[in-house]
Amino acid sequence: MATTFASVGAADGYLTGKCLVAMPGMSDPRFVRAVIYICAHTEEGAMGLVVNRAIPDFSFVDLLEQLSIPATPRCEQIQVQFGGPVESQRGFVLHSADYIHEGTLVVDDAVALTATLEVLRDIAVGTGPSRTLMALGYAGWSAGQLDDELRRNVWLTVESDPNVVFGLDLDAKYDRALRSLGVDPSLLSSEGGHA
């Protein structure tokens, strides 16, 4: 049975279904210029996937071979991305909500998350979701940690855009996410200030 977080939205002070964009002063090199899709955010903490950082020299075909799942030509188009530093050997598929199976976390009407071998098999044969992002690892925050980082201006929050989340041009995602707020990336400063 699918799990849903759709009732936990930004109106409740939570960011499920939104994107975080790293500010220029990001001190953690793993998240410099990162765009993170927030899959779940509750009072217990938050979990998201970096959507704009490929894992070099490791393909979806390589992953399928390790799991003894036959690859098809369509698999060559899929990039494997760095989802975050937590559980970096664990795979997650962020995908369009047209694919819902047991174990799927429905984030909202458009996006879901599945971390099963079944979704990988279905993607390989063309019966999986219409849009996918394959990630290893995730970004996680304990209770109150993300809220604290937001207060310290570590992240900007933006509405998620399927073209940013699922787009293939990883290098363009950061600037595109900022521009969705009307922010010119070249004008952002790494220095924070208070009035």
SS3 sequence of 106-151: ECCCCEEEECCHHHHHHHHHCCCCCCEEEEEEEEEEECCHHHHHHH
Provide the 10 A C-beta neighbour count for residue 169. 10
pLDDT digits (tens, 9 = 90+) for 14-69: 899 999 999 988 989 999 999 999 999 999 999 999 999 999 989 999 999 999 99
pLDDT of 11 reads 39
Condensed to tens digits (0 to 9), the pLDDT of residues 89-134 reads 999 999 999 999 988 999 999 999 999 999 999 999 999 999 999 9
Fold of 18-187: VC0467-like (3.40.1740)
Q: What is the mean pLDDT of residues 167-172?
A: 91
Which pLDDT belongs to residue 124? 93
pTM (2 d.p.)? 0.87
Is the pLDDT at 184 greater than 90? The verdict is no
Identify the pLDDT of residue 194: 40
Distances (CA, A) of 158 to 57, 64, 73, 126, 185: 30, 33, 35, 31, 14
| Residue spans per domain, the chain | 18-187
Instruction: Take residue 177 and report the two structure tokens written for it.
Output: 């996410």
